């Protein structure tokens, strides 16, 4: 038998050269405190943003005039800036603020949880908070969408959805269909099904994906029929980043039938359009169909916590991860199901129903759409289309780069790279500067303004928004563009 011993020189060094146990004195770096952070002024925030966060993004903030604003507080439908200006929030964090800012019931639940010193991390013991949130999500979901994975973002929820679908579909059917103009997140996995050339850039993405035009049932069927390796289709029910785009109403029933016929799993990304925004809890409920897997995030955290969730049919889940051997393949990550995040989401779901916010999204959304349609009729040369459902509305301007008077064209072409010559950039900047209203832009269609106000939005807020937009558009395109360009050189 050979006895393994340490080579002599190593043993010697270990004994003789062991560093003396001297205490190390760590000096505290130059850290800002919480109160320092709150007190930073615009100039210093700008310096820090540039130095440590994203210097390129600052460029866009400057174009839009956002760099002059420091938000001190936020309440309900409004941000309040350093000068006490109340900014009406029709952006709503791309649908993350169903309850507006700092809903009192949600804040109370969080404070109580903290005062009671409850546990946060949910990866050692089973968490009562994660269990209750999963129960609630299953209760809000139709059919047997019963199995819940908790994470902390929409991308993470969609990563979980795609992985689950791919495993359940099996190795013989590894191909995933996604739609033109889709947005499912920027993490590496879901980037392969996100249709933005800028985002995909030169990354090496998984190549088991196939693109189809959004809402085109014939093209979808042709793909399913032609390629037996297709096992999964992933679609936003209403495309957000694509510019608030809906498929024809009859598409969804037909899609469900096709998926059943060809045994393809349907993943519905409801990260932006779900959670009551469309006037139903899930947008797919408008069509009387149920996907195999879905995902929520954004407002799920009540505007106070980062929570994302994948919700899957029991049989699909069991197929992929149902055995002890496979159970940990995609079990929740470190921050999945954190205590305070879960109780925030639990309270938020209760508020959503107690305050009738889904009905309000349907009613107030219909009113907003009606008032915008009237504006479209009033300004047919400026507004091309208004569309959407509930409080997920897109307002598309005509592309005016060719119709602008010759004198303005050089000015606009100078701005073109930055704003792509779209009126939405100019209008958004002036709405903020002159009317204290915040709206959102759209990744793939720069002519579209996205309106996703909190679901607590009332008719009076709609009136204020529409009057601001009306007043702005009444100046005419030439004045709007000139004013914007002037503000850039000031
Ligand atoms: C439809 C959709 N899916 C996924 C995501 C990604 O969510 P997150 O930004 O929380 O990672 C988004 C974000 O805008 C989205 O709109």
Distance 272 CA to ligand 1 centre (A): 7
Per-residue tokens: 150: 């908790």
Q: Same structural domain for residues 219 and 290?
A: yes
Q: Same structural domain for residues 186 and 297?
A: yes
Report the pLDDT value the prediction gives residue 311, as an integer from 0 to 100: 98
Cβ of 234 closer than 6 Å to ligand 1, yes or no, is: no
Give pLDDT < 50 ranges for the chain: 1-4, 6, 9-11
Residue 63 domain-assigned? Answer: yes
Q: Which atom of ligand 1 is nearest to the CA of 94?
A: 14
The pLDDT tens digits of the residues spanning 400-445 come to 776 777 777 776 666 655 565 678 888 999 999 999 999 988 878 8
Q: What is the CATH number of the domain that holds 383?
A: 3.90.1150.10
Q: Same structural domain for residues 300 and 161?
A: yes
- Longest Cα pair distance anywhere in the chain, in angstroms? 95
Residue burial 172-203, b: 16+ Cβ < 10 Å; e: rest? ebebbbbbbbbbbbeeebbbbbbbbeeeeeee
Q: Same structural domain for residues 208 and 331?
A: yes
- Ligand 1, atom 7, lies closest to the CA of 154
Report the pLDDT value the prediction gives residue 419, as an integer from 0 to 100: 60
Q: Same structural domain for residues 318 and 379?
A: no
Q: Same structural domain for residues 234 and 307?
A: yes
Report the pLDDT value the prediction gives residue 293, as an integer from 0 to 100: 99
Which residue range is the domain that position 224 belongs to? 105-354
Report the pLDDT value the prediction gives residue 399, as an integer from 0 to 100: 85
* Region for residue 282 given its phi and psi (left: phi exceeds 0; alpha: psi -120 to 50; beta: otherwise): beta
Residue where one domain finishes, among candidates 324, 354, 384:
354
Residue where one domain finishes, among candidates 11, 46, 68:
68
Distances (CA, A) of 411 to 249, 433, 481, 482: 42, 20, 9, 9
Q: Same structural domain for residues 54 and 113?
A: no
Cβ of 270 closer than 6 Å to ligand 1, yes or no, is: no
Q: Same structural domain for residues 185 and 313?
A: yes
Evaluate whether 161 touches 296 at the Cβ level (below 8 Å). Answer: no
Residue where one domain finishes, among candidates 324, 339, 354:
354
Report the pLDDT value the prediction gives residue 17, as an integer from 0 to 100: 66
Report the pLDDT value the prediction gives residue 404, as an integer from 0 to 100: 74
Report the pLDDT value the prediction gives residue 2, as an integer from 0 to 100: 46
Report the pLDDT value the prediction gives residue 15, as an integer from 0 to 100: 55
Q: Same structural domain for residues 212 and 344?
A: yes
Domain count, the chain: 3
Q: What is the CATH number of the domain that holds 300?
A: 3.40.640.10
Report the pLDDT value the prediction gives residue 1, as an integer from 0 to 100: 44
Residue 2 domain-assigned? Answer: no
Residue 24 domain-assigned? Answer: no
Report the pLDDT value the prediction gives residue 391, as an integer from 0 to 100: 98
Residue 134 domain-assigned? Answer: yes
Q: Which atom of ligand 1 is nearest to the CA of 190?
A: 4
Distance 308 CA to ligand 1 centre (A): 10
Q: What is the pTM of this model?
A: 0.94
CA distance 175 to 263: 13
Q: Same structural domain for residues 191 and 324?
A: yes
């Amino acid at each position: 038998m050979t006895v393994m011993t340490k080579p002599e020189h190593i043993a010697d060094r270990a004994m003789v050269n062991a560093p003396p146990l001297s205490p190390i004195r760590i000096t505290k770096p130059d850290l800002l405190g919480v109160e320092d952070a709150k007190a930073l002024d615009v100039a210093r925030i700008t310096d820090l943003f540039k130095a440590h966060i994203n210097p390129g993004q600052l460029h866009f903030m400057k174009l839009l005039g956002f760099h002059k604003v420091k938000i001190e507080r936020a309440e309900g439908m409004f941000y309040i800036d350093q000068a006490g200006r109340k900014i009406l929030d029709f952006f709503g964090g791309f649908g993350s603020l169903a309850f507006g800012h700092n809903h009192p019931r949600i804040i109370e639940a969080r404070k109580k949880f903290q005062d009671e010193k409850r546990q946060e991390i949910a990866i050692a013991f089973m968490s009562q908070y994660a269990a209750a949130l999963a129960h609630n999500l299953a209760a809000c979901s139709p059919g047997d969408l019963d199995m819940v994975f908790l994470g902390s973002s929409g991308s993470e929820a969609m990563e979980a959805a795609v992985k689950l679908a791919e495993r359940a579909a099996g190795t013989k059917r590894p191909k995933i269909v996604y739609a033109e103009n889709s947005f499912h997140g920027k993490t590496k996995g879901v980037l392969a099904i996100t249709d933005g050339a800028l985002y995909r850039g030169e990354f090496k993405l998984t190549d088991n994906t196939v693109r189809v035009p959004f809402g085109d049932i014939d093209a979808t069927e042709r793909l399913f029929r032609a390629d037996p390796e297709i096992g999964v289709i992933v679609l936003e029910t209403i495309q957000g980043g694509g510019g608030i785009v809906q498929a024809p109403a009859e598409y969804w029933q037909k899609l469900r039938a096709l998926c059943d016929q060809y045994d393809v799993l349907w993943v519905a990304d409801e990260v932006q359009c779900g959670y009551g925004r469309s006037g139903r809890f899930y947008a797919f409920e408008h069509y009387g169909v149920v996907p195999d897997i879905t995902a929520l995030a954004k407002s799920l955290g009540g505007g106070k916590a980062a929570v994302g969730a994948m919700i899957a049919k029991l049989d699909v889940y069991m197929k992929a991860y149902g055995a002890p051997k496979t159970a940990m393949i995609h079990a929740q990550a470190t921050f999945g199901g954190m205590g305070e995040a879960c109780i925030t989401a639990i309270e938020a779901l209760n508020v959503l129903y107690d305050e009738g916010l889904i009905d309000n999204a349907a009613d107030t959304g219909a009113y907003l759409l009606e008032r915008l349609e009237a504006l479209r009729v009033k300004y047919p040369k400026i507004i091309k289309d208004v569309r959407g459902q509930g409080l997920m509305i897109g307002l598309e301007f005509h592309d005016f780069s060719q119709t602008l008077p010759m004198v303005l064209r050089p000015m606009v072409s100078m701005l073109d790279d930055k704003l792509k010559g779209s009126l939405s950039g100019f209008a958004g900047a002036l709405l903020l500067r002159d009317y204290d209203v915040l709206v959102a832009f759209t990744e793939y269609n720069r002519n579209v303004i996205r309106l996703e106000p909190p679901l607590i939005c009332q008719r009076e807020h709609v009136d204020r928004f529409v009057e601001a937009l009306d007043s702005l558009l009444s100046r005419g395109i030439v004045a709007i563009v000139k004013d914007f360009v002037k503000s850039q050189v000031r």
